[in-house]
Amino acid sequence: MEDSEIGDYKAPALIIQKETVRAILHPISRSAPGVTGIVDFYVMPAYDDIARLFFYDDAWHLHHMSPGSPDVGPHRRDQPLSRETFRAVLEAMIRNAARSLRMDREDQVDRAGPYVDATRPRPAAP
């Protein structure tokens, strides 16, 4: 990562697996206005439902907006980071990813037309 104050540095990411779902904690920046650390948290490979961790007031805070929800400004929806808030956000992201996957599959079926089972004989033409 690049930082104008301290120069280039490395910050490791952390991959988390829960059952068949993988999520990643991905460092974004050492500092930004009002915070001293930013980390993105998302389910892989979707990347469309991102939570963000901020370090300010001597503690980590978790900010998660479900896809489609309105943005209410910086830090208004932040929650103190705890096992419970982390677990709740991970579960919400898993539900959102499953819902998105179902919608993608339904859309593919709609575009492909009716399903044809190639293993079953076709009815004879009249």
Q: Is residue 125 part of a domain?
A: no
Q: Is residue 116 part of a domain?
A: no
C-alpha 76/C-alpha 67 separation (Å) is 17
Domain range for residue 41? 14-67+75-111
Q: Is residue 3 part of a domain?
A: no
DSSP state string for 59-82: EEEEEE--TTPPP--TTSS-EE--
Facing residues of 18 across strands?
21
- The separation between CA 116 and the C-alpha centre of its own chain, rounded to angstroms, equals 35
In terms of Cα–Cα distance, which of 32, 42, 44 is closest to 75?
Answer: 32
Q: Is residue 39 part of a domain?
A: yes
Q: Is residue 105 part of a domain?
A: yes
Are 32 and 42 in contact, with CB atoms under 8 Å apart? Answer: no
DSSP 120: S
Q: Is residue 123 part of a domain?
A: no
Instruction: Report the pLDDT value the prediction gives residue 72, as an integer from 0 to 100.
Output: 46
Q: Is residue 5 part of a domain?
A: no
Instruction: Report the pLDDT value the prediction gives residue 108, as an integer from 0 to 100.
Output: 55
Instruction: Report the pLDDT value the prediction gives residue 6, as an integer from 0 to 100.
Output: 82
pLDDT tens digits in sequence order for the chain, 126 residues long: 877 788 888 889 999 988 888 899 999 888 788 888 889 998 887 666 788 899 999 999 998 876 655 444 555 568 899 999 999 888 888 888 777 666 656 655 555 555 555 556 656 666
Instruction: Report the pLDDT value the prediction gives residue 66, as an integer from 0 to 100.
Output: 64
In terms of Cα–Cα distance, which of 55, 73, 39, 53 is closest to 64?
Answer: 53
Q: Is residue 80 part of a domain?
A: yes
Count of the separate structural domains present in the chain:
1
